[in-house]
Amino acid sequence: MPRKSPQRALSIKIAKPNGGVAQLQPITVRCPSGWSVESDWVDGSVRRVDAKRHLFVEGDAKTHVYKVMSGAVCLYKVLNDGRRQIIEFALEGDVIGLGSTPTETCNAQALAATRLKCLPIAVMLKAAEQDTSVALRLYKALSRELVAAREHLLCVGQRGATERLVMFFAILSRRNEERGSDPNIIKLPMTRTDIADFLGLKIETVSRTFTKLRRQGFIEIDQITTVHLRNTGELQRLAEGGARV
């Protein structure tokens, strides 16, 4: 079992630079009403967060719900020796911070410069109380997150390294498809370490698995941040069950 290492200790420090609420970027711009198509978000202000800054950390009082307008954020939890599990990558259009706990239960860190629309929790709850359709949408959104979390658990608990990585591509591919972009071109706004921590692997394993998939012709890598999927059918088979790669 892994034990404390200097790097690990360092990574904790990076994860929680001031150990508290304060690392939000202060720049807050009023959003012109009617700017967003979704009614709940019209009045939200916009916050900008630089790469690697934290939006919030575990234990902070929950103040807002955020919607990623551009950029990317990861939600993660850490063990006290620094091992990190990334729970979710929140990309453009994703909402962070639903959930009814009074304090945040995860850390949220920007992977790149990110713009977020912010909705105060109090506003959201008030809307939910006055309008059951809002409450029900909240319930549905949370429901989707729960399904995703359980799928993630299945992946990390039962799949081997290759299967996990392929699943990861599959998730991003599906996401592209839903948004009308090319499902075979995967942009990776996160580092290999982030991918490793998302999949419950180590960076070396992730790197080797990338290489293996590339050598086998399943993927092509232009820049490290872009993966082209080849032979999607076969990839699908790799992910679904009997992978013997």
Partner DNA sequence: CGACTACTTGACAAGGATCAAAGTTGGTGG
Partner DNA sequence: CCACCAACTTTGATCCTTGTCAAGTAGTCG
Distance CA(64)–CA(67), nearest Å, equals 10
CB 95 within 8 A of CB 30: no
241, with CB counted inside 10 A (0-12, 13-18, 19+), is exposed
Residues that bind DNA (CB under 7 A): 1-3, 5, 160-162, 191-193, 200-208, 210-211, 221, 223-224
Nearest Cα to 111, choosing from 35, 42, 190, 34? 190
Q: How far is CA 39 from CA 16, 44, 124, in A?
A: 34, 10, 12
Chain-centre distance for alpha carbon 131: 29
For 35, other C-beta atoms within 10 Å of its C-beta total 12
Taking CB under 8 A as the criterion, the residue among 81, 177, 182, 204 binding a copy of itself is 81
Report 142-201 residues binding a copy of itself (CB under 8 A).
142-143, 145-147, 149-154, 156-160, 162-163, 199-200
Interface mask toward a copy of itself for 198-217; x: CB under 8 A: -xx-----------------
The binder of 145, among a copy of itself, DNA, none, by C-beta within 5 to 8 A per type, is: a copy of itself
| Closest to DNA by CB, 162 or 173 | 162
The binder of 40, among DNA, a copy of itself, none, by C-beta within 5 to 8 A per type, is: none
The binder of 139, among a copy of itself, DNA, none, by C-beta within 5 to 8 A per type, is: a copy of itself
244 is a contact residue toward a copy of itself (CB under 8 A)? yes
| Closest to a copy of itself by CB, 113 or 125 | 125
Tokens of residue 207, six digits: 């790197």
| Closest to a copy of itself by CB, 47 or 88 | 88
**Contact residues for a copy of itself (CB under 8 A)?**
1-4, 77, 79-81, 83-85, 87, 98-101, 105-106, 125, 128-130, 132, 135-136, 138-140, 142-143, 145-147, 149-154, 156-160, 162-163, 199-200, 240-245
